[in-house]
Amino acid sequence: MEWRGTLCLTLLACGLHAAEPDAWRLIRSPHFEIYSQAGNDAAARAMALHLEQLRTLVALHTGIDLDSRPAVRVMGFRSAAEYDPYRVRQSSNAYYVGSESRDYIVMAGLDSGHFGLAAHEYAHAVLRATGADLPPWLREGLAEVLSTVRISARGSAIGGDLPARLQALKHEGWIPLADLLAANTEGGFISPSAFYAKSWEVADLVLLAPDYAPRFPQFVSALARQVPSSEAFASVYGKSLTAVETDLRRRRRVPIALGNTAPAAVEVTASDLPPFRASLFLAEIVTLTGDFSHAESMYRSLEQDAPGDPDVAVGYGALALREGKPDAARQHWKAAIVRGATDAVLCFRYAVLANQAGVPPDEIRPALVRAIDLKPGFDDARYLLALLESNAGNHEAAVKQLRAMRQIAQIGRAHV
């Protein structure tokens, strides 16, 4: 009988070990939610504090309104092997994905060696908050520059060399600036490694070089208006691409002190995250990456585990919308609301789809009322409800909603 007891203990131990990858912890700070699969709260706390300090620096030196977005979710896996099923590029151990209402940073690990990667991906969340549509080379270049930020008790600094990018530039040889401006991260005229390296080199120049930095805001403004990069260099800096390339060759990169801008005492809490919730987040991430078949498989499994859960219906709806199936999305979101979903944005997005589909006002009104109950300052929901009431002849109700708004919305602000 002794061998049987040993076998049972062995099988139990194996079962516990197999379940470990599903064990997640949540480390929450004011502006970040760090989801750690590694079971290492210390590393997750350090990541949260590092990102809070980075956020303080970005807000102070750019003036970007970062409060308009919810807390950034950082998913940190136990290892590269655990990360692999969610990897989007073979060469990358981290990436950013976002939607209208959520930012995710997905990483193979959370230790201090990943701080630079986290900073790079956080830059994409910052750029999303600006709403600016910038060319790929500047988006990735600025993210690379942000990854050079060093934070210590003595102060912070940005800039300086990135050895791996310098090595790529040395290996590739001189890359014409025109080739970079015509390329993107998925390919084009230069290799991905050369793209990131050259993007960093040029972004460092326009953001930090004394002759370029003062006019950087005007440069970004021009690019956001879809002015071609070559024309923006000429109009803002009065320089041809050849002149910019000369400046790149002469550039000596040195770290620039940013001073001691540590945030006030940051409260960090820790709690367990049920595997079901972690799987929901991962399914949302997979949806945002565009791997729709994988996402659908994950949602099917989740629905089997928790039939009738409103968040599963929310996820199904988001997947359907990204697949170009608005009617299916509307039905899933209607089911989520019936099941008790408490997301004001979801209620509003359902109402927009329903309105576009010609659903009777009496079926749309409850969703908008719920959105406003959940979020009284939701001007877009109030505006759409005012239009709905006005079109139905309920003018007094329409005026009531308009008067409750903080600012009058523009026609067309309502979007999915």
The one-letter amino acid code at 101 reads S
How far apart are alpha carbons 158 and 151 in whole angstroms?
Answer: 9
Per-residue 3-state assignment (H helix, E strand, C coil) for 281-319: HHHHHHHHHCCHHHHHHHHHHHHHHCCCCHHHHHHHHHH
Query: In this predicted structure, what is the pLDDT of residue 187?
Result: 56
The one-letter amino acid code at 360 reads P
Tens-digit pLDDT string for the chain (416 aa) = 333 333 333 333 343 333 344 589 999 999 999 999 988 899 999 999 999 999 988 888 888 889 888 999 999 999 999 999 999 988 789 999 998 889 999 999 999 899 999 999 999 999 999 888 999 999 999 999 999 999 887 889 999 999 999 999 998 888 899 999 988 765 567 888 899 999 999 999 999 999 999 999 999 999 999 999 999 999 999 999 999 999 999 999 999 998 776 666 789 999 999 999 999 999 999 999 999 999 999 999 999 999 999 999 999 999 999 999 999 999 999 999 999 999 999 999 999 999 999 999 999 999 999 999 999 999 999 999 999 999 999 999 999 999 999 765 444 444 45
End-to-end CA distance of the chain, in Å? Answer: 64
Which of 415, 387, 416 minimizes the C-alpha distance to 401? 387
Cα dihedral 43→48→53→58 (10° resolution) = 130
Q: pTM of the prediction?
A: 0.85
- How far, rounded to the nearest angstrom, does the alpha carbon of residue 78 sit from its chain's CA centroid? 21
How far apart are alpha carbons 353 and 364 in whole angstroms?
Answer: 10
Residue 325: exposed, middle, or buried by beta-carbon count in 10 A (0-12, 13-18, 19+)? middle
